Structure 1
Amino acid sequence: MAMNAGRSILQTRTALAQLLQVDNANDIVFTSNTTEALNLAIKGCLREGDHVVATMIEHNSVRRPLEYLKRIKGIQVDYIPVSAQGILDLAELKERVTSQTRLVVCAHSSNLLGSILPVEEIGKIAHAAGALLLIDAAQTIGCYPVDVKQTGADMIAFPGHKSLLGPQGTGGLYIRPDLELEPLLHGGTGSQSEAVEMPKVRPDQYEAGTLNTVGIAGLGSGVRTVMEYGIEKIYQHEWQLTQQLMQGLLEIKGLTCLGPELGVPRTGLVAFTLEGWDAAEVAFRLDRQYQISVRAGYHCTPLGHMSAGTTGRGAVRASVGYSTTVQEIEALISAMKQIAQ
Structure 2
Amino acid sequence: MERVIYLDHAATSWPKPPTVGEAMMQALDIAGANPGRGSHRMAVQASRVLFSTRKTLSTLFGVNNANDISLGSNTTEALNIAIQGWLREGDHVIATMAEHNSVRRPLEYMRRSRNVTVDYVKVDAMGTVDLLQLEKMFRPNTRLVVCTHSSNLLGSILPVGEISQMCRKRQIPLLVDAAQSAGVMPVDVKQLGIDMLAFPGHKGLLGPQGTGGLYIAPELDVQPLLHGGTGSQSEAIEQPNVRPDRYEAGTPNTVGMAGLAAGVKHVMELTPERIYQHEWELTQFMMEGLASVPGIRMLGPEVGHPRTGLLSFTVEGHDSAQLAFKLDRQYNIAVRSGFHCTPLAHESAGTTRSGAVRVSVGYNTVQSDVNTLIEAVHEITRFK
One of 109, 129, 148 as aligned partner of 1:68? 109
- Matched position secondary structure for 1:18: helix
1:146-198 alpha-carbon deviations (Å, 9 max, x no partner): 11111111100000000100000000000001111110000000111010001
Distance in 2 between residues matched to 1:146 and 1:21, nearest whole Å: 8
Task: Describe the superposition over 1:256-282 as per-residue Cα deviations: whole angstroms up to 9, x where unpaired.
Answer: 110000000000100000111111101
State how far apart, in whole Å, the 2-side matches of 1:156 and 1:273 are: 32
Q: Quick check: 1:306 aligned with 2:347?
A: yes
Inter-partner Cα distance in structure 2 for 1:282 and 1:4? 49
Matched, 1:196 2:271: no
Tell me the residue number matched to 1:83.
124
Shift of 1:319: 0.7
1:278 aligns with 319
Give 1:129 shift: 1.9
- Structure with the larger RCO, 1 or 2 (CA within 8 Å, 6+ apart): 2
Counterparts of 1:115-194 in structure 2 under 5 Å?
115-194=156-235
The answer as to 2:88 corresponding to 1:47 is yes
CA-based RMSD? 0.6
Partner AA of 1:162 in structure 2: K
For residue 111 of structure 2, what is the amino acid of its counterpart? K
Tell me if structure 2 keeps the 8 A contact 1:126–1:132. Answer: yes
Using the size of structure 2 for normalisation, the TM-score is 0.88
SS of residue in 2 equivalent to 1:22 = coil
| Contact 1:97-1:126 within 8 A present in 2 as well | no
**Alignment check: 8 A CA contact 1:99 1:130 kept:** no
- The residue type equivalent to 1:240 in the other structure is E
Map Cα deviations across residues 293-337 of structure 1 (whole Å, 9 max, x no partner). 001000000001001110111000001100001010000000000
TM-score, L = length of structure 1: 0.99
Q: Given the alignment of the two structures, is residue 254 of structure 1 paired with residue 295 of structure 2, yes or no? A: yes
Give, in whole Å, the separation in 1 of the partners of 2:46 and 2:195. Answer: 29
Is this contact kept in 2: 1:101–1:130, CA < 8 A?
Answer: no
Does the residue aligned with 1:223 lie in a helix, a strand or coil?
Answer: helix
Question: Once the two structures are superposed, what CA deviation does each residue of 1:207-254 show, in whole Å capped at 9, x if it has no partner?
Answer: 000000000000000000000111111111001000000111111111
Matched, 1:268 2:286: no
What secondary structure is seen at the aligned counterpart in 2 of 1:172? strand
Percent identity of equivalent pairs: 62
Consecutive unaligned residues of structure 1, counting only runs of 5 or more, are none
SS of corresponding position for 1:256: strand
CA distance in 2 between partners of 1:237 and 1:130 (Å): 37
Residues 108-152 of structure 1 deviation map (CA, whole Å, 9 limit, x = unaligned): 000000000010100111121221100000000101111111111
Question: Per-residue deviation at 1:42?
Answer: 0.2
How far off its partner does 1:99 sit? 2.9
2:258 maps to 217
Which blocks of at least 5 consecutive residues in structure 2 are unaligned? 1-41
Give per-residue Cα distances to partners, 1:1-30, cap 9 Å, x unaligned.
111111111111000000000000000001
Partner of 2:365: 324
SS of alignment partner, residue 340 of structure 2: coil
CA distance in 2, matches of 1:314, 1:245: 20
Residue among 49, 55, 65 paired with 1:24: 65
Inter-partner Cα distance in structure 1 for 2:320 and 2:362: 22
Runs of 4+ in 1 over 3 A off after TM superposition: none
1:315 maps onto 2:371 in alignment: no
Greater mean deviation of Cα atoms: 310-319 or 3-12: 3-12
For 1:58-116, what per-residue CA distance to the aligned partner results, in whole angstroms no more than 9, with x for missing partners? Answer: 00000000001101111000000001000110001011023321000010000000000
Of 27, 39, 45 in structure 2, the residue corresponding to residue 4 of structure 1 is 45
Shifted more, 125-134 versus 164-173: the winner is: 125-134
Aligned twin of 1:56: 97
The total of aligned residue pairs comes to: 341
Tell me, yes or no, if the aligned pair for 1:59 and 1:301 is still in contact at 8 Å: yes
Decide whether the 8 Å contact of 1:99 with 1:131 is kept in 2. Answer: no
